[in-house]
Amino acid sequence: MKSPKLSVNPDKLNAFLGQALNDMGAAFQTALIILGERLGLYKAMAGAGPLTPAELAAKTQTDKRYVREWLCAQAASNYVTYDPATDRFTLPDEQALLLAVDTGPAYLPGAYQIIASTVVDEPQLRETFRTGFGFGWHQHDAGLFEGTERFFRPSYAANLINSWIPSLDGAEAKLKAGAQVADVGCGHGASTILMAQAYPKSRFTGFDYHEPSINRAREAAHAAGVSDRVRFSVAGAKDYPGKTYDLVAFFDCLHDMGDPAGVARHVRSSLKPDGNWMIVEPFAGDRIEQNLNPVGRVFYAASTMICTPASRAQEVGLALGAQAGETKLKEVVQQGGFTRFRRATETPFNLILEARP
């Protein structure tokens, strides 16, 4: 291949090389974080103070030479600190909260399971660029399904009951009194179960077209002791049963669907006349330049490999993408016959949108 004609500014070259080196180190962390979680290394370090590699290895029944190397990689990444005077490594509490506490406000290892799954799927995803065909959610490496649940659940646990439901018009009172709720595209049912735990008088049905996810959700509901008020059923967003829901919820899935306007029509027909549709979507501005930041970087990457091909695999294949933004989402919701639409609330990572008939 002929070399392209380039005019290289050395300062800009060095700046980019610095960034690329940093990114390379971050990419290498993927397997190290998964491994650190699965071997219980982070959990064993959390709150334990300074440890030698041998002490950590003894606590986790692992090999001290490998653990030393892993700790050095963690220290070079600022995930743990190192004291050369004592040859001990410490997991600071802030890092421990995000790496060792799966019930905390954010749990990072789940995200790395998602990232690893996209590397496994890269050959098929590469092919979609050539053919333009889709690659459905169900076709992905199973790490995506588990990683999604584990990465999203902490944010739902922190926000859904305290902030998102109360931000909707009149929904909280209905749920407390006893309402019918559909959680569509529910995946492993984390959101469905959290709502069922908070509102015992209400009845919840989680729908998803992906049968293995529904099976997993049923097991989780059983383990959480809420099977009396939660059901899970395999169904698509355009054909799930029921006509009298008080609340229909979509968590991070409307943009994954091929025909979101058709879905909106079906949601409208499934709601009571005064029902609420809660649409939780990744945070995004309407214009590309508003999303060129660290959050947008993560979401555009996920969108390229997961959300856009998922939508392309379904009928219509609108492919909104994870960074669709509120204006485009409003358009598809209105095409479905909803007359009221607003941003009910937001977090740095999510838009919480409400549509009403």
Ligand X SMILES: C[S@@+](CC[C@H](N)C(=O)[O-])C[C@H]1O[C@@H](n2cnc3c(N)ncnc32)[C@H](O)[C@@H]1O
Binding site for ligand X (CB under 6 A): 137, 148-149, 152, 185-187, 190-191, 208-210, 213, 236-237, 251-253, 256-257, 310, 314
Rounded Cα distance between 167 and 324, Å, is 22
Q: In whole angstroms, how close is the CB of 272 to ligand X at the nearest point? A: 21
Task: Quickly count: other Cβ atoms within 10 Å of residue 92's Cβ.
Answer: 13
Considering the complex, state which of residue 50 and residue 104 has its C-beta at the smaller distance from ligand X: 104
Burial 255-264 (b: 16+ CB within 10 A, else e): bbbbbbbbbb
* In contact, 278 and 248? CB cutoff 8 Å: yes
Assigned token pair, 88:
């001990």
Q: Which residue is nearest to ligand X (CB)?
A: 187
Rounded Cα distance between 189 and 174, Å, is 21
Considering the complex, state which of residue 152 and residue 277 has its C-beta at the smaller distance from ligand X: 152
Considering the complex, state which of residue 79 and residue 146 has its C-beta at the smaller distance from ligand X: 146
Q: In whole angstroms, how close is the CB of 15 to ligand X at the nearest point? A: 35
Q: In whole angstroms, how close is the CB of 26 to ligand X at the nearest point? A: 23
Considering the complex, state which of residue 137 and residue 245 has its C-beta at the smaller distance from ligand X: 137
Q: In whole angstroms, how close is the CB of 30 to ligand X at the nearest point? A: 19
- How wide is the angle at C-alpha 74 spanned by C-alphas 72 and 79, nearest 5°? 140
Q: In whole angstroms, how close is the CB of 92 to ligand X at the nearest point? A: 29
Considering the complex, state which of residue 33 and residue 257 has its C-beta at the smaller distance from ligand X: 257
Q: How far is CA 63 from the centre of its chain?
A: 33
Rounded Cα distance between 130 and 187, Å, is 29
